[in-house]
Amino acid sequence: MEFVIYEQKERVGIITINREKALNALNSAVLNELEQILDSIDTNEVRCLIITGAGEKSFVAGADIKEMLDLDKSGGEFFGKKGNDVFAKIENYVLPVVCAVNGYALGGGCELALSCDFRICSEKAIFGQPEVSLGIVPGFGGTQRLARAVGMGMAKQMIYTGRNIDAPEALRIGLVNAVYAQDELMPAAEKLAGIISKNAPIAVQKSKIAINSGSQLPINKGTEIETRLFGECFETNDRRAAMGAFVERRKDIEFFNS
């Protein structure tokens, strides 16, 4: 892989967008590599992913403007679909995905962060959807996911103005869950992912499915899905072991993803 690094620490997989010279901008090659890595992870072994960017300046400074320069209508649509397909894969990925935003998260970078389950960031992070200043609409899901994350009014304001926001403002509007000093960001992300990875994996995965699918549905349909998934958990060995350990006052529980 030229532009994306994958490493595993215990049961946490860390994906780093590594195209620092271009502030980790997303060209087709980066998107392809990201997709290949997602397809190659052993999701029985790994229990939580972190996505971050290489270096101290940028998470991802957007889709690659140089690659987009000469695209025509069908080329633009093709590139948009490519990004949207990869980001949908992240959103629907079987494992939870924590985004550690270590700097600029602009355009496609903000959209990549939005496709993750939740975001934490460094105090140097800058978020924005500057696409209209380039004569395009956000094309990797920003018109859809930003409003779902921060509300229609704030999303429209960010997209129509193209104005960047800093980490404290991102925290205030709920775009990120927490802000850390730069050198504390990855330790915090790994700690969070470590906590998640110690919980019953099937229960975490089914929680993700319930939350994601329910967010598109009327609440009674969402709770129907929840009820089905809740029931399915009772068939798992991990559920039996965990409830048994509680009743017997044992704390030595380990989950086996079964």
What is the binding site for ligand CAA (CB under 6 A)?
22-23, 25, 61-66, 83, 104, 106-108, 111, 130-131, 134, 136, 138-140, 142
Q: Which CB, 82 or 208, lies closer to ligand CAA?
A: 82
Cα–Cα dist 129/146, whole Å: 9
Torsion angle of the four alpha carbons 71, 109, 29, 189, in this order, in degrees rounded to the nearest 10? -170
Q: Which CB, 134 or 211, lies closer to ligand CAA?
A: 134
Q: How far is the CB of 114 from ligand CAA (least distance, A)?
A: 11
CA 176 distance to own-chain centroid: 11
Query: What's the Rg (C-alpha) of the chain?
Result: 19
Cα–Cα dist 127/203, whole Å: 32
Q: Which CB, 114 or 203, lies closer to ligand CAA?
A: 114
Cα–Cα dist 242/169, whole Å: 40
Contact 51, 99 (CB under 8 A): yes
Q: Which CB, 13 or 138, lies closer to ligand CAA?
A: 138
Q: Position 163: which residue type?
A: R
Indicate which residues carry an active-site annotation: 111, 131
Contact 162, 151 (CB under 8 A): no
